[in-house]
Amino acid sequence: MKKVILMLLIISMLIGLFGVVNAAKKVTIWCWDPNFNVAIMEEAASRYQKLHPDVEFEVVSMAKADVEQKLNTILASGVKRGLPEIVLIEDYNAQKYLQSYPGSFADLTREFNYKEFAPYKVKLMTLNGKVYGVPFDSGVAGWFYRRDYFEQAGINPEDLKNITWDEFIEIGKIVKEKTGKYMISGDPYDGGLMRILLHSAGTWYFDEKGNPNIANNEVLKDALKIYKELFASGIMKETSGWNEWVASFNNGEVASVVTGVWIIGSIKAEKSQTGKWGVLPVPRLDLPGAVNASNLGGSSWYVLNNSENKDIAIDFLREIYAKDIDFYQKILIERGAFGTWLPAQNGYAYRAEDPFFGNQRIFLDFSEWLKKIPSVDFGLFTYEADGAIMGVMPDVYNGNLTIDEALKLAEEQFKNTLGF
């Protein structure tokens, strides 16, 4: 008897191990972050299901690195099964996928009216005149500052709307002197701020042809100089890793934060600082063509050409992400997701006053800055270039190398690793 039960148990386990055939109208979506992208996609799916009850959705939540690993393996294997309909790809990596796996992503040029999306977002997913994705969230950058600290230092935020980074450092010194607080915080070996600086000047690590533009990149030289000065002047608190960084402004140790709009959730997590924050446009580099608007991060949706229900997936993205204004209001309020479909920015959530930020209409400001972000071709190897430059930063900080020498070294190392 025992044996029979054991056999039955094993058989039932064996059956459970096999794959199940997919339902007819099912859209599978791969993305990361249960509280952000996943939750937003689930909201979008439930809205679409109200219009089309026969469509099923499966939003698979994975770590970002996992999504990338899976996508790379399956696309490289050439197998046409096991692919999701929709996948989320980080903007910096978009061209890498589009160029490495031609034909894998659906050409959406005629499916969407791309004039309705932020131009810089459309550019980064365009290859040979064709657009391959649906722009999603923006990392439009802002300069979040503590109203109380600035007031204490005798600084009027109204005067800070169009300043340069050099002026930023001077103001930082005043803040440090008068309040004892650091101006900003950050990891000296993190390239995030570098990307904000470059993007605001409409430049990247690569030229139009995709070749590295590091050693003779005037913007990059300026950016490195700013990095060095930020730390040398003592106005930047050194942190390492995300948590320490977030803690530095939650604890009230720093007077401002320069980063993407997505940080709002983390800033607002510290309820005791209600009313004490405000947002200004980011400083700019003192160079021709540089603007007081930039971007850090952001991602977009892509449809896989070989997936089963590709057409339903495209219709879904069009119905929600390019039509549903109310959807964009909801995800902004509930998740802090700043969309890049411009018509949504006339909605109520974008015009609302936020008591946490001293009743400033912050999203209205961000919408303005979003339109000013220069279009940049991210090329294929943003993170690799980032790594090469951050690799030489120790020598820049301690003065072993001049900025010119350091960038030359970084370009050599970058070329060697990638075989340019």
Positive or negative, the CA dihedral 398, 402, 403, 409 is negative
Distance CA 407, CA 286 (A): 20
Q: Chain centroid to CA 20: how far?
A: 35
H helix intervals, 26-124 = 37-51, 64-77, 94-100, 119-124
Q: Are 289 and 198 in contact (CB under 8 A)?
A: no
Q: Are 315 and 295 in contact (CB under 8 A)?
A: no
Measure Cα distances from 272 to 148, 180, 276 in Å. 13, 20, 9
| Of 34 and 180, CB closest to another protein | 34
| Of 91 and 324, CB closest to another protein | 91
- 297: DSSP letter: E
Exposed / middle / buried, residue 6 (Cβ in 10 Å: 0-12, 13-18, 19+) = exposed
3-state helix, strand, coil in the chain (%, to 5): 50, 15, 30
Shortest distance, CB of residue 70 to another protein, whole angstroms?
Answer: 6
| Of 74 and 220, CB closest to another protein | 74
Shortest distance, CB of residue 54 to another protein, whole angstroms?
Answer: 20
Q: Smallest Cα–Cα separation from 327: which of 1, 335, 83?
A: 335
Shortest distance, CB of residue 170 to another protein, whole angstroms?
Answer: 33
Judged by the rule CB under 8 A, the positions of this chain that interact with another protein are 13, 16-20, 28, 32-36, 58, 60-64, 66, 69-70, 73-74, 76-79, 81-82, 84, 243, 246-247, 262, 265-266
Residues whose CB falls within 8 Å of the CB of residue 171, separated by 6 or more in sequence, listed in order: 155, 160, 163, 183
| Of 139 and 379, CB closest to another protein | 139
Shortest distance, CB of residue 14 to another protein, whole angstroms?
Answer: 8
| Of 77 and 398, CB closest to another protein | 77
Shortest distance, CB of residue 184 to another protein, whole angstroms?
Answer: 20
| Of 9 and 232, CB closest to another protein | 9
Shortest distance, CB of residue 300 to another protein, whole angstroms?
Answer: 16
| Of 75 and 373, CB closest to another protein | 75
Q: Smallest Cα–Cα separation from 200: which of 296, 280, 119?
A: 296
Shortest distance, CB of residue 31 to another protein, whole angstroms?
Answer: 10
